[in-house]
Amino acid sequence: MLRFVVRRLLVAALTLVVISLVTFGLFFAVPSSPAKVMCGKNCTAEDIAQVERRLGIDQPLPRQYADFVHGVFAGRTYGEGDFRQDCPAPCLGYSFRNNQPVTEIVAQRAPVTFSIVLGGAVLWLGLGVSLGMVSALRRGTAFDRAAIGVTLAGASMQVYFFGLILLYLLVYSTGLLPFPSYTPLTESPLRWAAGLLLPWMTLGFLNSALYARLSRAQMLETLSEDFVRTARAKGLPARKVHTRHALRAAITPIVTIAGLDIGTSLGGTFITETIFGLQGLGKATVEAVQFLNLPVVMATVLLAAVFIVVANIVVDVLYAVIDPRVRLS
């Protein structure tokens, strides 16, 4: 088990290095210089050169990358003399836009996205898996057909459509819910939940479609397994047969997809954040890309990669927890 974890961590580190290199490289393939963007229209070539020097982007690319990595692990210093700026580790640089430390931006934005995704995930997993399970047990009935129809509708709708409908129905026309906003959980759990209910419902309904279909198919498969017949032959009540025996065996692929889904979403849910006016990582990333704000882009892209890599490891570990046959090999 230890060797397995160590190997996975090494692969994860390598993945992150490659992703950071590619992001770095891609960014410099863009034909416009961030110094020009920052400096404005009336800048002379000299001004631009000065800004470039200050940002450190006049250096050769490998050197810049090395500085960046050094900054992450040991901190770095920008500029000199009066413009000297010490950036302690983990230094992700300063926003080209307003000179805010990137770590601070991430620290502000990440909790918003986390809250949206985790709340949404609870809803979409709960709703999706239970809907799929009941559909499978009532296969062919009106309930099954209705559930499949609704989830098909859910799967084909988009956040910007469904989210806006909910926004109109629940906020503008009836006032049942406040306009979405982010209050830190530590400040007021109630306001935190109330402000995020709308994005949760949106993500919950839309994503549950996939989970309902997946868990329905998985349940139907395990329900025809011999061990389910054995469980019934023992005289177990139907409820226990369905949950403890059938669902338990059906859960593995659901865990895989859920892990990757959550990992991916944690990197940013741009559309959801934009519709509901929440300042999350997704919005930060898109804005940074539009502004060629390299330090912020680097940070958010890397962070997203970290989430996906970690989610993968978590899924692997969960596999071993769920299936004893995995533990041996």
Partner 1 sequence: MVELPAPRRGEGPYLRVRDLRVRFDTEDGVVRAVDGVSFAVERGRTLGIVGESGSGKSVTSLAILGLHNAKRTTISGEIWVGGRQLVGLGEEEVRRLRGRDMAMIFQDPLSALHPYYSVGRQIAEAYRVHHPRAGRREARTRAVDMLDRVGIPQPAKRFDQYPHEFSGGMRQRAMIAMALVNDPDLLIADEPTTALDVTVQAQILDLLSDLQEEFRSAIVLITHDLGVVSQVADDVLVMYGGRAVEHGSVERVLRAPQHPYTWGLLSSVPSLHGDADADLVPIPGNPPSLINLPPGCAFHPRCRWADVNGDRSRTEVPELVAAGAAGHLVACHLPVAARERIYRDEVAQVGVAR
Is residue 249 involved in binding partner 1 (CB under 8 A)? yes
Closer CB to partner 1, residue 92 or residue 315?
A: 315
Is residue 236 involved in binding partner 1 (CB under 8 A)? yes
- Nearest 5°: phi and psi at 249? -80, -20
Out of 3, 32, 235, 290, name the contact with partner 1 by CB under 8 A. Answer: 235
Is residue 250 involved in binding partner 1 (CB under 8 A)? no
Is residue 232 involved in binding partner 1 (CB under 8 A)? yes
Is residue 288 involved in binding partner 1 (CB under 8 A)? no
Helix (H) or strand (E) holding 78: strand 76-78
Out of 144, 225, 287, 316, name the contact with partner 1 by CB under 8 A. Answer: 225
Is residue 243 involved in binding partner 1 (CB under 8 A)? no
Q: Kindly provide the b/e burial profile for residues 293-302, where b requires at least 16 CB atoms within 10 angstroms of the residue's own CB.
A: bbbbbbbbbb
SS3 content of the chain, % helix, strand, coil (to 5): 75, 0, 20
Is residue 237 involved in binding partner 1 (CB under 8 A)? yes
Tracing tokens 């927890």 back to the chain, one arrives at 321
Torsion of CA 58, 64, 67, 73, to 10 degrees: 140
Is residue 234 involved in binding partner 1 (CB under 8 A)? yes
Quick one: residue 175, left, alpha or beta (phi over 0 = left, psi -120 to 50 = alpha)? Answer: left
CB atoms within 10 A of CB 174: 9
Out of 231, 281, 296, 305, name the contact with partner 1 by CB under 8 A. Answer: 231
Is residue 230 involved in binding partner 1 (CB under 8 A)? yes
Is residue 74 involved in binding partner 1 (CB under 8 A)? no
Q: Which residues bind partner 1 (CB under 8 A)?
A: 225-227, 229-238, 245, 248-249, 322-325, 328
